[in-house]
Amino acid sequence: MVGLQSKRPSRLLCRRFVKFCLVGGSGVVVDMAVLHFLASPTECGWSVSLSKVCSAEAALLNNFIWNEVWTFRPAGGRAKLEGGIGRRCWRFHAICGSGIGLAVFLLHAFHGWLGINLYVANFAAIILVTLWNFGLNARLNWRVREA
C-alpha cells in the first residue's frame, strides 16, 4: 500500500502538468484571437504593440482562471487553497512575466551564444519556461492546505 500512496502525488503532479499545458495552449488561441481583433485594420485597427500587450494580458487572465478552477482545484474534502484569489492572480502574473524574460534570455543564449537553430532554441526555451512556470506556480501559488 505504501507504493500506491507514494505514486499518487506524482500522478497528480503529472495530471496537473498536462492540464497546465492544455491551459497554456488555450492561452495561445486567446492571444492570437485578441491580437487579430485589436490589430486588424478591418476590426479595431490599434497599433500592433498596444494590441499585443492587451492580447497577452487577456491570455494571462484566461490561463489564470482555467488554472484556478481546473488545473489546481483541490480534490474534494476539506482542502483549501492558500491565500486569496487576488494574491494568486498577482503571483501568477509575476511568475509568468518573469518566465517571459527567462524565455528571451534562453533564446538569446541558445541561439546567439551557442549557435543552436533559432526554432530549436525557441522550442527548448518554451519547454524550460513551461517547467519554470508550472513548478513555481504549483509550489508557491496554488498550495493546498487542509481546512
Residues 88 and 60 both lie in one domain? no
Residues 3 and 49 both lie in one domain? yes
| Domain tally, the chain | 2
Domain boundary (54, 73, 92) is at 73
pLDDT confidence band for 4 (50 / 70 / 90):
very low
Neighbours of 134 (CB within 10 A): 21
| Per-residue pLDDT tens over the stretch 89-146 | 999 999 999 999 999 999 999 999 999 999 999 999 999 999 999 999 999 999 766 5
pLDDT confidence band for 81 (50 / 70 / 90):
confident
**Alpha carbon distance 11, 6 (integer Å):** 9
Prediction pTM value: 0.84
Residues 103 and 140 both lie in one domain? yes
pLDDT of 3 strictly over 70: no
Residues 12 and 50 both lie in one domain? yes
Per-residue confidence (pLDDT) for residue 123, from 0 to 100: 95
Residues 51 and 107 both lie in one domain? no
Residues 50 and 98 both lie in one domain? no
Specify the pairing of strand 79-81 against strand 144-146: antiparallel
**Alpha carbon distance 63, 20 (integer Å):** 8
Q: HEC states along 68-116?
A: HHHHCCCCCCCEEECCCHHHHHHHHHHHHHHHHHHHHHHHHHHHHHCCC
Q: What is the span of the domain harbouring residue 99?
A: 82-147
